[in-house]
Protein backbone atom coordinates (compact mmCIF):
# COMPACT_ATOMS: atom_id res chain seq x y z
CA UNK A 1 0.00 0.00 0.00
CA UNK A 2 2.84 2.40 0.85
CA UNK A 3 4.50 1.70 -2.48
CA UNK A 4 1.22 2.33 -4.28
CA UNK A 5 0.69 5.62 -2.44
CA UNK A 6 4.25 6.68 -3.19
CA UNK A 7 3.82 5.83 -6.88
CA UNK A 8 0.61 7.85 -7.04
CA UNK A 9 2.29 10.76 -5.26
CA UNK A 10 5.30 10.63 -7.58
CA UNK A 11 3.00 10.41 -10.59
CA UNK A 12 1.05 13.50 -9.50
CA UNK A 13 4.24 15.42 -8.84
CA UNK A 14 5.61 14.49 -12.25
CA UNK A 15 2.40 15.53 -13.97
CA UNK A 16 2.45 18.89 -12.18
CA UNK A 17 6.08 19.45 -13.11
CA UNK A 18 5.35 18.50 -16.73
CA UNK A 19 2.36 20.88 -16.88
CA UNK A 20 4.39 23.70 -15.37
CA UNK A 21 7.17 23.25 -17.92
CA UNK A 22 4.65 23.06 -20.75
CA UNK A 23 2.79 26.22 -19.71
CA UNK A 24 5.97 28.22 -19.28
CA UNK A 25 7.43 27.05 -22.58
CA UNK A 26 4.40 28.31 -24.52
CA UNK A 27 3.72 31.53 -22.60
CA UNK A 28 7.35 32.57 -22.26
CA UNK A 29 7.90 31.62 -25.89
CA UNK A 30 4.96 33.82 -26.86
CA UNK A 31 6.07 36.80 -24.73
CA UNK A 32 9.69 36.58 -25.86
CA UNK A 33 8.79 36.48 -29.55
CA UNK A 34 6.40 39.37 -28.97
CA UNK A 35 9.00 41.45 -27.07
CA UNK A 36 11.71 40.79 -29.66
CA UNK A 37 9.39 42.06 -32.38
CA UNK A 38 7.85 45.11 -30.68
CA UNK A 39 10.73 47.55 -31.35
CA UNK A 40 10.77 46.85 -35.10
CA UNK A 41 7.07 46.36 -35.88
CA UNK A 42 6.14 47.79 -39.32
CA UNK A 43 9.81 48.12 -40.33
CA UNK A 44 10.76 46.91 -43.79
CA UNK A 45 12.66 43.67 -44.11
CA UNK A 46 16.46 44.09 -44.01
CA UNK A 47 16.20 47.68 -42.78
CA UNK A 48 17.32 46.39 -39.34
CA UNK A 49 18.75 43.27 -37.72
CA UNK A 50 17.57 41.90 -34.38
CA UNK A 51 20.15 39.70 -32.65
CA UNK A 52 19.01 40.16 -29.06
CA UNK A 53 16.24 41.75 -27.02
CA UNK A 54 16.40 45.52 -27.49
CA UNK A 55 14.13 48.43 -26.61
CA UNK A 56 12.51 51.59 -27.94
CA UNK A 57 12.02 51.72 -31.70
CA UNK A 58 8.45 51.68 -33.02
CA UNK A 59 6.62 52.23 -29.72
CA UNK A 60 9.49 53.72 -27.68
CA UNK A 61 9.19 50.95 -25.09
CA UNK A 62 11.97 49.48 -22.88
CA UNK A 63 13.59 46.18 -23.82
CA UNK A 64 11.43 43.20 -22.91
CA UNK A 65 8.11 44.97 -23.46
CA UNK A 66 5.37 42.73 -24.84
CA UNK A 67 2.21 43.87 -26.58
CA UNK A 68 -1.43 42.95 -27.14
CA UNK A 69 -0.45 39.48 -28.37
CA UNK A 70 0.63 38.53 -24.86
CA UNK A 71 -1.87 40.69 -22.96
CA UNK A 72 -4.91 39.20 -24.69
CA UNK A 73 -3.48 35.70 -24.25
CA UNK A 74 -3.25 36.39 -20.50
CA UNK A 75 -6.88 37.57 -20.60
CA UNK A 76 -7.83 34.24 -22.16
CA UNK A 77 -5.95 32.38 -19.42
CA UNK A 78 -7.88 34.29 -16.75
CA UNK A 79 -11.18 33.57 -18.47
CA UNK A 80 -10.45 29.84 -18.81
CA UNK A 81 -9.34 29.53 -15.19
CA UNK A 82 -12.39 31.41 -13.93
CA UNK A 83 -14.79 29.28 -16.01
CA UNK A 84 -16.41 32.59 -16.94
CA UNK A 85 -18.67 33.25 -19.92
CA UNK A 86 -17.70 34.98 -23.14
CA UNK A 87 -19.13 38.30 -21.98
CA UNK A 88 -16.60 38.34 -19.16
CA UNK A 89 -13.79 37.59 -21.61
CA UNK A 90 -14.91 40.48 -23.80
CA UNK A 91 -14.96 42.65 -20.66
CA UNK A 92 -11.28 41.76 -20.20
CA UNK A 93 -10.58 42.82 -23.78
CA UNK A 94 -12.32 46.13 -23.03
CA UNK A 95 -10.22 46.53 -19.88
CA UNK A 96 -7.04 45.85 -21.86
CA UNK A 97 -7.58 49.12 -23.72
CA UNK A 98 -7.36 50.84 -20.32
CA UNK A 99 -4.11 49.07 -19.42
CA UNK A 100 -5.30 45.80 -17.90
CA UNK A 101 -2.79 42.92 -18.12
CA UNK A 102 -0.15 45.11 -19.74
CA UNK A 103 3.57 45.43 -18.89
CA UNK A 104 3.34 48.99 -17.51
CA UNK A 105 -0.36 49.70 -16.97
CA UNK A 106 -1.19 51.22 -20.34
CA UNK A 107 -2.14 49.97 -23.79
CA UNK A 108 0.11 51.07 -26.64
CA UNK A 109 -1.07 48.69 -29.38
CA UNK A 110 -4.30 47.02 -30.48
CA UNK A 111 -5.35 45.55 -33.81
CA UNK A 112 -8.01 47.21 -35.93
CA UNK A 113 -10.30 44.17 -36.18
CA UNK A 114 -10.02 43.44 -32.46
CA UNK A 115 -10.80 47.05 -31.63
CA UNK A 116 -13.83 46.97 -33.93
CA UNK A 117 -15.06 43.77 -32.26
CA UNK A 118 -14.76 45.45 -28.86
CA UNK A 119 -16.77 48.42 -30.13
CA UNK A 120 -19.52 46.09 -31.38
CA UNK A 121 -19.61 44.43 -27.98
CA UNK A 122 -19.87 47.80 -26.20
CA UNK A 123 -22.70 48.72 -28.58
CA UNK A 124 -24.70 45.73 -27.32
CA UNK A 125 -23.75 42.92 -29.72
CA UNK A 126 -23.39 39.43 -28.22
CA UNK A 127 -19.79 38.13 -28.05
CA UNK A 128 -20.55 35.39 -30.56
CA UNK A 129 -21.41 38.02 -33.19
CA UNK A 130 -18.68 40.58 -32.54
CA UNK A 131 -16.09 39.25 -34.97
CA UNK A 132 -15.84 40.75 -38.43
CA UNK A 133 -17.10 38.53 -41.24
CA UNK A 134 -15.82 40.23 -44.40
CA UNK A 135 -12.78 39.14 -46.38
CA UNK A 136 -10.99 42.25 -45.12
CA UNK A 137 -11.40 40.99 -41.54
CA UNK A 138 -8.65 38.40 -41.88
CA UNK A 139 -5.89 39.89 -39.81
CA UNK A 140 -3.95 37.79 -37.30
CA UNK A 141 -5.58 39.28 -34.18
CA UNK A 142 -7.29 36.04 -33.16
CA UNK A 143 -4.35 33.82 -34.04
CA UNK A 144 -2.07 35.78 -31.73
CA UNK A 145 -4.12 35.30 -28.55
CA UNK A 146 -5.39 31.70 -28.60
CA UNK A 147 -2.31 29.62 -27.68
CA UNK A 148 -3.69 28.98 -24.13
CA UNK A 149 -6.39 26.83 -25.75
CA UNK A 150 -3.71 24.34 -26.80
CA UNK A 151 -2.53 24.02 -23.21
CA UNK A 152 -6.04 23.41 -21.96
CA UNK A 153 -7.00 20.98 -24.73
CA UNK A 154 -3.80 18.97 -25.20
CA UNK A 155 -5.09 16.02 -23.16
CA UNK A 156 -8.37 15.86 -25.11
CA UNK A 157 -7.90 13.69 -28.20
CA UNK A 158 -11.21 14.53 -29.89
CA UNK A 159 -10.05 16.56 -32.91
CA UNK A 160 -13.56 17.72 -33.76
CA UNK A 161 -14.30 18.91 -30.22
CA UNK A 162 -11.03 20.83 -30.04
CA UNK A 163 -11.70 22.46 -33.40
CA UNK A 164 -15.14 23.64 -32.33
CA UNK A 165 -13.69 25.26 -29.20
CA UNK A 166 -11.03 26.99 -31.30
CA UNK A 167 -13.71 28.20 -33.70
CA UNK A 168 -15.77 29.63 -30.84
CA UNK A 169 -12.89 31.70 -29.47
CA UNK A 170 -11.69 32.87 -32.86
CA UNK A 171 -15.12 34.24 -33.79
CA UNK A 172 -15.04 36.74 -30.93
CA UNK A 173 -12.90 39.04 -33.06
CA UNK A 174 -12.42 37.30 -36.43
CA UNK A 175 -15.41 35.40 -37.81
CA UNK A 176 -14.46 34.92 -41.47
CA UNK A 177 -13.90 31.22 -42.38
CA UNK A 178 -10.31 31.97 -43.42
CA UNK A 179 -9.38 33.15 -39.95
CA UNK A 180 -11.17 30.21 -38.35
CA UNK A 181 -9.31 27.70 -40.52
CA UNK A 182 -6.01 29.40 -39.65
CA UNK A 183 -6.78 29.23 -35.93
CA UNK A 184 -7.69 25.55 -36.10
CA UNK A 185 -4.47 24.77 -37.93
CA UNK A 186 -2.38 26.79 -35.48
CA UNK A 187 -3.79 25.43 -32.24
CA UNK A 188 -3.93 21.83 -33.46
CA UNK A 189 -0.29 22.11 -34.60
CA UNK A 190 0.62 23.58 -31.22
CA UNK A 191 -1.06 20.65 -29.47
CA UNK A 192 0.90 18.24 -31.64
CA UNK A 193 4.16 19.92 -30.66
CA UNK A 194 3.19 19.78 -26.98
CA UNK A 195 2.74 16.03 -27.47
CA UNK A 196 6.32 15.84 -28.77
CA UNK A 197 5.48 15.25 -32.42
CA UNK A 198 8.01 16.90 -34.71
CA UNK A 199 6.94 19.08 -37.61
CA UNK A 200 7.54 16.67 -40.51
CA UNK A 201 5.75 13.81 -38.77
CA UNK A 202 2.95 16.08 -37.55
CA UNK A 203 2.26 17.36 -41.05
CA UNK A 204 1.94 13.81 -42.32
CA UNK A 205 -0.13 12.48 -39.43
CA UNK A 206 -2.50 15.43 -39.03
CA UNK A 207 -3.35 16.16 -42.66
CA UNK A 208 -6.17 13.53 -42.87
CA UNK A 209 -7.75 14.89 -39.65
CA UNK A 210 -7.72 18.46 -40.91
CA UNK A 211 -9.09 17.52 -44.30
CA UNK A 212 -11.85 15.30 -42.88
CA UNK A 213 -12.94 18.12 -40.57
CA UNK A 214 -12.77 20.90 -43.16
CA UNK A 215 -14.65 18.85 -45.77
CA UNK A 216 -17.70 18.85 -43.48
CA UNK A 217 -17.99 22.60 -43.96
CA UNK A 218 -17.68 23.73 -47.60
CA UNK A 219 -16.63 27.25 -46.62
CA UNK A 220 -13.74 25.84 -44.56
CA UNK A 221 -12.72 23.38 -47.25
CA UNK A 222 -12.57 26.16 -49.83
CA UNK A 223 -10.34 28.32 -47.62
CA UNK A 224 -8.09 25.39 -46.76
CA UNK A 225 -7.60 24.38 -50.39
CA UNK A 226 -6.99 27.91 -51.64
CA UNK A 227 -4.81 29.27 -48.86
CA UNK A 228 -3.37 26.65 -46.52
CA UNK A 229 -2.95 23.31 -48.26
CA UNK A 230 0.66 23.97 -49.22
CA UNK A 231 1.64 23.96 -45.53
CA UNK A 232 1.50 20.16 -45.71
CA UNK A 233 3.88 19.93 -48.68
CA UNK A 234 7.60 19.58 -48.00
CA UNK A 235 8.28 21.90 -50.93
CA UNK A 236 6.81 24.76 -48.90
CA UNK A 237 9.70 24.50 -46.42
CA UNK A 238 12.19 24.72 -49.28
CA UNK A 239 10.97 28.19 -50.26
CA UNK A 240 13.43 31.06 -50.15
CA UNK A 241 13.10 33.92 -47.68
CA UNK A 242 12.08 36.18 -50.56
CA UNK A 243 9.05 33.96 -51.19
CA UNK A 244 7.75 34.37 -47.61
CA UNK A 245 5.49 37.34 -46.84
CA UNK A 246 5.32 38.67 -43.27
CA UNK A 247 2.27 40.93 -43.10
CA UNK A 248 -0.54 40.96 -40.56
CA UNK A 249 -2.76 39.02 -42.97
CA UNK A 250 -3.61 35.75 -41.22
CA UNK A 251 -2.52 33.57 -44.15
CA UNK A 252 0.85 35.31 -44.45
CA UNK A 253 1.37 35.12 -40.69
CA UNK A 254 0.70 31.42 -40.26
CA UNK A 255 2.81 30.52 -43.27
CA UNK A 256 5.69 32.70 -42.12
CA UNK A 257 5.68 31.17 -38.63
CA UNK A 258 5.62 27.57 -39.83
CA UNK A 259 8.28 28.32 -42.44
CA UNK A 260 10.52 29.73 -39.70
CA UNK A 261 10.07 26.54 -37.69
CA UNK A 262 10.67 24.30 -40.66
CA UNK A 263 13.91 26.04 -41.65
CA UNK A 264 15.62 26.33 -38.24
CA UNK A 265 16.93 23.96 -35.58
CA UNK A 266 16.43 25.68 -32.22
CA UNK A 267 14.25 28.20 -30.37
CA UNK A 268 16.58 31.17 -30.67
CA UNK A 269 17.19 30.68 -34.38
CA UNK A 270 13.45 30.33 -35.09
CA UNK A 271 12.28 33.48 -33.28
CA UNK A 272 15.12 35.64 -34.57
CA UNK A 273 14.38 34.48 -38.10
CA UNK A 274 10.72 35.40 -37.52
CA UNK A 275 11.26 38.92 -36.19
CA UNK A 276 13.82 39.68 -38.88
CA UNK A 277 11.27 39.04 -41.63
CA UNK A 278 9.93 42.57 -41.13
CA UNK A 279 6.45 44.15 -41.04
CA UNK A 280 4.23 42.44 -38.40
CA UNK A 281 7.21 41.42 -36.34
CA UNK A 282 5.65 41.20 -32.88
CA UNK A 283 2.84 38.83 -33.85
CA UNK A 284 4.93 36.67 -36.17
CA UNK A 285 7.54 36.55 -33.41
CA UNK A 286 4.95 35.73 -30.75
CA UNK A 287 3.31 32.88 -32.68
CA UNK A 288 6.66 31.45 -33.75
CA UNK A 289 7.80 31.73 -30.14
CA UNK A 290 4.83 29.79 -28.79
CA UNK A 291 5.30 27.03 -31.37
CA UNK A 292 9.07 26.89 -30.90
CA UNK A 293 8.62 26.83 -27.12
CA UNK A 294 6.34 23.81 -27.47
CA UNK A 295 8.86 22.05 -29.73
CA UNK A 296 12.13 22.79 -27.92
CA UNK A 297 10.76 23.07 -24.35
CA UNK A 298 11.53 25.53 -21.59
CA UNK A 299 15.14 24.45 -21.03
CA UNK A 300 16.00 25.53 -24.58
CA UNK A 301 14.59 29.05 -24.23
CA UNK A 302 17.46 31.47 -23.47
CA UNK A 303 17.35 32.46 -19.81
CA UNK A 304 18.70 35.92 -20.65
CA UNK A 305 15.53 36.62 -22.62
CA UNK A 306 13.24 35.33 -19.89
CA UNK A 307 15.00 37.58 -17.38
CA UNK A 308 14.53 40.65 -19.60
CA UNK A 309 10.76 40.28 -19.97
CA UNK A 310 8.85 43.26 -18.62
CA UNK A 311 6.48 42.64 -15.69
CA UNK A 312 7.65 39.05 -15.44
CA UNK A 313 5.77 38.71 -12.15
CA UNK A 314 2.47 39.10 -14.02
CA UNK A 315 3.48 36.43 -16.54
CA UNK A 316 4.44 34.12 -13.66
CA UNK A 317 1.16 34.83 -11.89
CA UNK A 318 -0.91 33.85 -14.93
CA UNK A 319 1.21 30.77 -15.64
CA UNK A 320 0.70 29.69 -12.04
CA UNK A 321 -3.04 30.38 -12.27
CA UNK A 322 -3.31 28.14 -15.31
CA UNK A 323 -1.19 25.45 -13.63
CA UNK A 324 -3.46 25.40 -10.58
CA UNK A 325 -6.53 25.16 -12.80
CA UNK A 326 -5.13 22.33 -14.92
CA UNK A 327 -3.73 20.41 -11.97
CA UNK A 328 -6.98 20.14 -10.03
* Residue extents of the structural domains in the chain: 16-326
Given a cut of 80, whether residue 272 has pLDDT beyond it is: yes
Burial of 14 (0-12, 13-18, 19+ CB in 10 A): exposed
What pLDDT score was predicted for residue 2?
55
Which of 289, 295, 305 has the alpha carbon at shortest distance from 27? 289
Q: What is the pLDDT of residues 160-191, one digit of tens each?
A: 999 999 999 999 999 999 999 999 999 999 99
- What lies within 8 Å, CB to CB, of 254 at 6+ separation is 140, 143, 182, 185, 186, 228, 231, 287
Given a cut of 70, whether residue 8 has pLDDT beyond it is: no
Average pLDDT of span 51-76: 98
Q: Residue positions in the annotated binding site?
A: 67-69, 280, 282-283
pTM value is: 0.96
Report the top-level CATH class of 16-326. Answer: mainly alpha
What confidence category does residue 12 fall into, taking pLDDT thresholds of 50, 70 and 90?
A: confident
Q: What is the pLDDT of residues 217-227, one digit of tens each?
A: 999 999 999 99
Which of 12, 80, 15, 28 has the alpha carbon at shortest distance from 321? 80
Q: Residue positions in the annotated binding site for Mg(2+)?
A: 67-69, 280, 282-283
Do residues 147 and 322 touch, judged by C-beta distance below 8 A? no
Amino acid sequence: MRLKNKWESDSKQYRRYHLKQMIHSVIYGLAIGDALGVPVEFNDRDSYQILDMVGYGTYNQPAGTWSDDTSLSLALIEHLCEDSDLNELMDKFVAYRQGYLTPFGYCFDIGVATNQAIERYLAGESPEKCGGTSERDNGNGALMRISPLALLLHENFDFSYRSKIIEQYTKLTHAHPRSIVASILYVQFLIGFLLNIRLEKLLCQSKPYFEDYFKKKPEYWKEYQEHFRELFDQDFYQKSREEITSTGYVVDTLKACLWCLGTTKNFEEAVLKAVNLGEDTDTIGAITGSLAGAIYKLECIPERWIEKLANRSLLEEKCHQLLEYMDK
